[in-house]
Amino acid sequence: MSTLLQEETASGKAAGKYLTFILNGSSYGVPILKVREIIRLLDITPIPRMPEYVRGVINLRGKIVPVIDLRMKFGLPNVATGNRTCIIVVHVTIASATKLMGLIVDALEEVYQIGAEDMEPAPEFGKGTSSGHIQNMAKVKGQLKALLNIDEIVQNDHALLPLPALPDEAGSKR
Amino acid sequence: MDTIPEEQIGEIPLELSPDLDAELVEEFISDARERLEHIEQGTLALEKNIHDQAVIHSLFRAFHSFKGNASFLDFTAISQLAHTLESLLDGARENRLQINSVVVDIILKSRDTLKRFVDEVEAQITGKKPRQVVHIPTAVLKAAARHIVNNGEAPAPKVAPVATETPAATPAPSTAPATTEKKPALMPTPMPICNPVAKLKPSTYVGGTALHAVKVSTARLDGLVDLAGELLIAQSLIVQNFSSPGVNRHTIARNLEQLNRIGKELQRTAMSMRMVPIRSTFQKMHRLVRDISAQQGKDVQLVLDGEETEVDRTIVEKIGDPLMHMVRNAVDHAIETPERRVAMGKPPTGTIHLRAYHKSGNIVIEIEDDGLGINRGRILEKAVENGLLSPGEKPDDKDLLYLILRPGFSTAAVVTAISGRGVGMDVVHRNISRLRGKIDIRSVSGQGTVFTIRLPLTLAVIDGLIIRVGGQRYILPTISVRESFPPKSCQITSLPGGGELVQMRKEVIPLLRLREHFQMKEDTGCPGDGILVVIESDGKKRCLMADELVGKQEVVIKNLGEVFKTDPMVSGGAILGDGCVGLILDAAALVHLDPESDVLRRFESFDRESALDYAHSG
Distance CA B573, CA B301 (A): 46
**CATH annotation of B22-196:** 1.20.120.160
Q: What residue type is assigned to position B340 of the chain?
A: R
In terms of pLDDT, which residue wins out, B504 or B208? B504
Give the per-residue pLDDT at A36.
Answer: 92
CATH architecture of B461-617: Roll (2.30)
ipTM: 0.73
DSSP secondary structure string, B190-242? TGGGGS-GGGSPPP---TTPPP------HHHHHHHHHHHHHHHHHHHHHHHHH
Query: Which segment of A99-108, B92-101, B359-368, B462-471 scores lowest on mean pLDDT?
Result: B92-101
Burial class (CB in 10 A: 0-12, 13-18, 19+), B56: buried
Residues of B in contact with A57 (CB under 8 A): 560-561, 573, 581, 583
Give the per-residue pLDDT at B204.
Answer: 35
Give the per-residue pLDDT at B167.
Answer: 40
Tell me which residues of chain A, numbers 131 to 160, contact chain B at a CB-CB cutoff of 8 Å. Answer: 154, 158-160
Give the per-residue pLDDT at A19.
Answer: 93
**Helix, strand, or coil here: B358?**
strand
B573: left (phi over 0), alpha (psi -120 to 50) or beta: beta
Q: Please state, for a pLDDT cut of 90, what percent of chain B lies above it.
A: 5
**Mutate which: A50, A96, A172, A173, vs B, most B CBs within 10 A:** A172
- Predicted confidence (pLDDT) at residue B132 exceeds the cutoff of 70: yes
- Predicted confidence (pLDDT) at residue B84 exceeds the cutoff of 70: yes
What is the arithmetic mean of pLDDT over B318-324? 85
Whether CATH 3.30.420.40 fits B276-456: no
Q: Please state, for a pLDDT cut of 70, what percent of chain B lies above it.
A: 77
Query: Which segment of A90-104, B207-221, B425-439 scores lowest on mean pLDDT?
Result: B207-221
Q: Kindly state the DSSP code that residue B571 receives in the 8-state scheme.
A: E
Which of A82-91, B241-250, B267-276, B405-414 is the most confident on average? A82-91
What is the arithmetic mean of pLDDT over B265-269? 84
Question: For chain B, which residues lie within 8 Å of any Cβ of chain A, measuring from their own Cβ?
Answer: 38, 41-42, 45, 52-55, 57-58, 61-62, 207-209, 430, 434, 472, 517-520, 558-567, 570, 573, 575, 579-583
Whether CATH 2.60.40.1510 fits A2-155: no
Q: Which residue of A has its CA nearest to B473?
A: A45
Burial class (CB in 10 A: 0-12, 13-18, 19+), A25: exposed
pLDDT band at B524 (very low <50, low <70, confident <90, very high): low
Give the per-residue pLDDT at A14.
Answer: 75
What does R_g of chain A's alpha carbons equal in angstroms?
A: 17
**Helix, strand, or coil here: B447?**
coil
CB B325 within 8 A of CB B363: no
DSSP secondary structure string, A16-78? EEEEEEEETTEEEEEEGGGEEEEEE----B--TTS-TTEEEEEEETTEEEEEEEHHHHTTPPP
Give the per-residue pLDDT at B475.
Answer: 92
Going B63 to B65 to B67 to B73, the CA torsion angle's sign is negative
Give the per-residue pLDDT at A12.
Answer: 57
pLDDT band at B400 (very low <50, low <70, confident <90, very high): confident
- Predicted confidence (pLDDT) at residue B427 exceeds the cutoff of 80: no
Going A78 to A81 to A84 to A88, the CA torsion angle's sign is positive
Distance CA B2, CA B506 (A): 71
Give the per-residue pLDDT at B5.
Answer: 42
**pTM, to two decimals:** 0.51
Q: What is the pLDDT of residues B172-211, one digit of tens each?
A: 444 434 433 333 333 333 333 333 333 333 333 333 333 4
For chain A (174 residues), the mean pLDDT of every run of 10, in chain order, is 44 78 90 92 85 86 87 84 89 79 91 86 62 78 86 66 36 33
In terms of pLDDT, which residue wins out, B28 or B452? B452
What is the least distance, in Å, from the CA of B468 to any CA of chain A? 12
Distance CA B166, CA B137 (A): 9
Which of B31-45, B85-99, B160-174, B299-313 is the most confident on average? B299-313
User: Residue B563 and residue A58: Cβ atoms within 8 Å?
Assistant: no
Q: What residue type is assigned to position B175 of the chain?
A: T
pLDDT band at B579 (very low <50, low <70, confident <90, very high): confident
Q: How many CB pairs under 8 A join A and B?
A: 106
